[in-house]
Amino acid sequence: MTYRVNGRSFDAEPRPGQCLRTYLRELGHFGVKKGCDAGDCGACTVWLDGTPVHSCVTPAFRADGHEVTTIEGLGTPGDLHPAQRRFRDAPGFQCGFCTAGMIMTSATFTGEQKADLPRALKGNLCRCTGYRAIEDAVRGRSAVQDAEPGKAVGASVGAPAAEDVVTGRAEFTMDVRMEGMLHLKVLHSPHAHARIVSVDRTAALAVPGVRGVYGWEDVPRRRFTTAIHTDHLVDPDDTYILDDTVRFVGQRVAAVVADTVGAAEEGCRRLVVEYEVLPAVFDPEEAMADGAPQLHGSEDPFVRDPHRNLLLEIHTHIGDVDAGFAAADVIHEGTYVSPRVQHAHLETHGSIAWMEDGRLNVRTSSQSPSIAKAKLEYLFALRPDQLRVFCKRVGGGFGGKQEVISEDLAALAALDTGRPVSFEYTREEEFTTASPRHPMRLTVRLGAKADGTLTAFQVRNVSNTGAYGNHGGETLHAGGAAVMIYRCPNKRYDAYSVYTNTVPSGALRGYGMTQPAFAVESAMDELALALHMDPFALRRRNIVRPGDPLVAMHDGPDDVMFNEDGLAKCVDLVAGSLARTADQPAPGPEWLVGVGVASSLHGTAPPTQHISEAWLTLGDDLVYELAVGTVEFGEGTSTAHVQIAATQLRTVPSRIRLVQSDTDRTGFDTGAFASAGLFVAGNAVLRAANAVRDRILEFAAAHAGVHVVMCTMDDEDVVCGDTRVPLAELVALARSRGIRFTAARKAYGSPRSVVSNTQGFRVAVHPVTGEIRVLHSVQATDAGVVINPEQVRGQVDGGVAQGIGFALTENHRVDADGVMVNPNLRDYRIPTFADVPRTEVLLVPSTDSVGPMRSKGMAESCINPVAPALANALHDATGVRYRELPLTPERIYGRLARSRHAWTGTGR
């Protein structure tokens, strides 16, 4: 067989049954990505004789005698194909993992296909962008701007890695080949709760190529938490690398390492495990009842109440709630249910570990290499100098990679075998073993006077943390922010984080706020209806304003700065947008039309300790090297950091060379989560840039014999009074004296600010099919001083798209035995291009922030108001209130068919 790839001939024979994707990657074409291996996502798209195909479901032998083109063969940096140029200039990507497939698909589009992008792009998924930027790229709309020296902040500067992303040369975690690499696969538990009696490894070790099998007896018996925070004590150390008890279907039982993935998988299949099956419980209310099966024994010091399976419970109040309800003219109470939701980042979890010069190296897909390093040091008793953890570009995160769940086993096997070990999750493993959003059941009770003034606000939150408590306590605390958004003298918050025999829940965009926001904002609309008030009017009357205490669960001091009325401005902007677009027609006369709104407040950094350090150095080549530990996975912090540094140094972004996310080459960084990548790390970059600038100015002033106040930076010179001193001259002179222009600075996540968001929808609902169509989507956000307007719009677009999935389609369904029944992208149904409307993004002018350049990290918060705004619009259209997500056509139709309101609606 002869294969031609990107114009070159290869005689290498594919293995029997090998797909084209793995064959091409083995040839070194790493632009061909794995998102699903089922033909669902399109990340692996290549051309076969000029026709796009999904290479993961194309047998490699079918390429014999044909011309294969990958993204690397389409164009190169400096010589881009027009489609690559359009994606660079739109920009049509965020994390970039899906970008090669998007480009390979769209580069072949005819005019007819461009006119019907929902159909033309149905085979390509993106989890980050919300698709607006992708549409712009396909249609040739450019938004990227060049920045003048010192004026990068406020411009839509392109990402530093843009050309590498669009040409497939940007390295992601698994984009590397190493001599002698072993592959690790895991045997997962078929039982929701069982004790492992024995594991017979004989048949597994007999499989050709199998090099080792690891069970719970072979790993360090050290408790830890997979959750990532600077202060590990906020999460319970209730987990082992491998355990002799399994507590959910999918939990690790044993690991096999082998020369090939196939051999490792066969080794797992041949392990013979004897289990003692134990009683299981899946519902958190049942798990708290007397006599329920206990997941963690009483000897576990991290469980609040093992007899009730309680990780944590919170009972707090302000004022007198009973008196507040007694004083109310109207009381509303409702229970709202949010399901388990998966991150579905297209790059699955994965790590590669190897030994080099006596040190363990771990290359991983993580949101925090610094804390991953600390956990591995603890687990394997390593000194800090014995371990390096680093990231290349990460293919999406959304909180899912705020865990250590692949690094530990890869490190274990590498330390044991001395050979490189690769551990890459399948898509099914992502769904069944990685940490999804916490399912929550919230009961909200509100009391108000006839004029709408709130008198009492009570919330009961039952959160299903799953089998282990990673993030269980912190997300429970975070939910209190949904109570903070409205003024009320009497508040009560009761919350329970409960262990069940289900996959452990974790961090997901919105972090404990998204579910309570759905409940509280739905309840506010129901209260407005009971009061015969407009929902906008009820919110305007009660939202917190500057001067009000941000009271959620206590009235003690906090570190939040709240000085500007961003939330009220958001509400007004959304109301104006919905009024301007009120004449949008329904799809047909039978459709019901409604309007919905919801708001949220979100902190710009986590309340737990968050630290970042930035290093900046002016090199002999007159390029500033900026080293910062924050990982880039599509949130745009790399671009923002470069813009901040370039602005302070009065230069252009191209003169900032970024080094990031490597514990050998960067300082400590808590991680890219909770919007802290901009807010905290950005402040560290700002301080380091200012320090280097000041050192250069002081040196130039001494050299020119003038006072430092007479000196300013000016791209490649320093202006000292009437004299220009070239930077090259200053650098050479400083070097001759043993002086370097360099500085390191740290920043902390305190004090914090708040981000405001308001989402509005106009929707049409078909009363027979239950279909929802979004006629208009608008979100206003208070992001402070906007560092990069196009990136901010992109983050809102992506947040709205994820929120639409949370509200309408996504549901991690589990059967009566605790088994997930839809562990693939096709059945789980994240939004496609056809599902996501273009959102009008409105930016509130604001400077209320202690963030860098008075900006606010806002990539996380924009998801919070989406689901309740949709639910409120659905009620407005139909007169039927839906309190459980997702709002599927079946669920909508089932209620409409039983309701006389279905045929009249309140349709505004």
Residue linked to tokens 């073993």? 433
**Alpha-carbon gap, residue 548 to 71, rounded angstroms:** 54
CB atoms within 10 A of CB 768: 11
Closest CA relative to residue 199, chosen from 276, 273, 268 = 273
Note whether 763 and 594 are within 8 A (CB): yes
Going by DSSP bridges, is the β-strand pair 742-748/611-618 parallel, antiparallel, or unpaired? antiparallel
Burial 155-180 (b: 16+ CB within 10 A, else e): bbbbbbbbbebbbbbbebbbbeeeee
User: What one-character DSSP code corresponds to residue 211?
Assistant: E
**Alpha-carbon gap, residue 461 to 873, rounded angstroms:** 24
Count of residues making up the chain: 908
Mean pLDDT over each residue of the chain, to the nearest integer: 95
| One-letter identity of residue 613 | E
Q: Is the pLDDT of residue 904 over 60?
A: no
pTM value is: 0.96
Q: Give the pLDDT band of residue 901 (cuts 50, 70, 90).
A: very low
Give the pLDDT of residue 870.
Answer: 98
Triad 354, 358, 359: Cα angle to 5°: 55
**Alpha-carbon gap, residue 223 to 380, rounded angstroms:** 12
Helix, strand, coil distribution of the chain in percent, nearest 5: 30, 25, 45
User: Which pLDDT tens digit goes with each residue over 575-627?
Assistant: 999 999 999 999 999 999 999 999 999 988 888 889 999 999 999 999 999 99
Residues 252-273, mean pLDDT to the nearest whole number: 98
**Alpha-carbon gap, residue 896 to 525, rounded angstroms:** 19
Note whether 365 and 423 are within 8 A (CB): no
Q: Is the pLDDT of residue 820 over 90?
A: yes
Closest CA relative to residue 429, chosen from 238, 184, 213 = 184
Note whether 828 and 432 are within 8 A (CB): no
**Alpha-carbon gap, residue 54 to 828, rounded angstroms:** 20
Note whether 232 and 370 are within 8 A (CB): no
CA distances from 645 to 297, 532, 687, 725, 786 (A): 52, 52, 9, 21, 15
| One-letter identity of residue 544 | V
- The overall longest dimension of the chain from CA atoms, in Å, is 86
| One-letter identity of residue 212 | G
Element (H, E) at 569: helix 566-580
Residues 360-364, mean pLDDT to the nearest whole number: 98
Inter-helix orientation angle 566-580/535-542, to 10°: 170
Element (H, E) at 522: helix 514-531
Q: What are phi and psi of 335, to 5 degrees?
A: -115, 135
Map residue 643 onto helix, strand or coil.
helix
CB atoms within 10 A of CB 799: 29
DSSP string, 332-380: EEEEEEE-------SSPPEEEEEEETTEEEEEE--S-HHHHHHHHHHHH
Residues 474-479, mean pLDDT to the nearest whole number: 93
Q: Give the pLDDT band of residue 635 (cuts 50, 70, 90).
A: very high
Instruction: Please enumerate, as own/partner, the contacts of 554-559 that have beta carbons within 8 Å and a separation of 24 or more.
Output: 554/316, 554/318, 555/318, 558/607, 559/607, 559/750, 559/751, 559/752
Q: Give the pLDDT band of residue 837 (cuts 50, 70, 90).
A: very high
Question: Lowest-pLDDT range, 281-290, 380-389, 474-483, 515-524?
Answer: 474-483
User: Which pLDDT tens digit goes with each residue over 747-795?
Assistant: 999 999 999 999 999 999 999 999 999 999 999 999 999 999 999 999 9
User: Which pLDDT tens digit goes with each residue over 509-568?
Assistant: 999 999 999 999 999 999 999 999 999 999 999 999 988 888 776 777 888 888 888 999
Closest CA relative to residue 700, chosen from 687, 677, 683, 717 = 717
Note whether 792 and 786 are within 8 A (CB): yes
Q: Is the pLDDT of residue 90 over 80?
A: yes
User: Which pLDDT tens digit goes with each residue over 399-432?
Assistant: 999 999 999 999 999 999 999 999 999 999 999 9
Q: Is the pLDDT of residue 906 over 60?
A: no
User: Which pLDDT tens digit goes with each residue over 686-727?
Assistant: 999 999 999 999 999 999 999 999 999 999 999 999 999 999
Residue 403, strand partner residues: 227
Give the pLDDT of residue 900.
Answer: 52
Give the pLDDT of residue 561.
Answer: 84
Triad 513, 519, 524: Cα angle to 5°: 115
Counting runs of H as helices and runs of E as strands, what totals does the chain give? Answer: 27, 31
**Cis bond before residue 160 (omega within 30° of 0):** no
User: Which pLDDT tens digit goes with each residue over 658-680?
Assistant: 999 999 999 999 999 988 999 99
Residue linked to tokens 């006599």? 291
**Alpha-carbon gap, residue 531 to 331, rounded angstroms:** 9
Closest CA relative to residue 742, chosen from 582, 893, 617, 560 = 617
**Alpha-carbon gap, residue 691 to 876, rounded angstroms:** 55
Q: What are phi and psi of 198, to 5 degrees?
A: -160, 155
Q: Up-side HSE of residue 268: CA atoms within 13 Å toward CB?
A: 20
Q: Which residues contact 727 (CB under 8 A, 6 or more apart)?
A: 618, 622, 696, 716, 717, 718
Map residue 188 onto helix, strand or coil.
strand
Q: Give the pLDDT band of residue 634 (cuts 50, 70, 90).
A: very high
Cα 483 to the center of its chain, rounded Å = 24
Closest CA relative to residue 286, chosen from 499, 474, 504, 512 = 499
Residue linked to tokens 């019907």? 116
3-state SS of 825-893 is HHHHCCCCHHHCCCEEEEECCCCCCCCHHHECCCCCHHHCCHHHHHHHHHHHHHCCCCCECCCCHHHHH
User: Which pLDDT tens digit goes with each residue over 132-185?
Assistant: 999 999 999 999 999 999 999 999 999 999 999 999 999 999 999 999 999 999
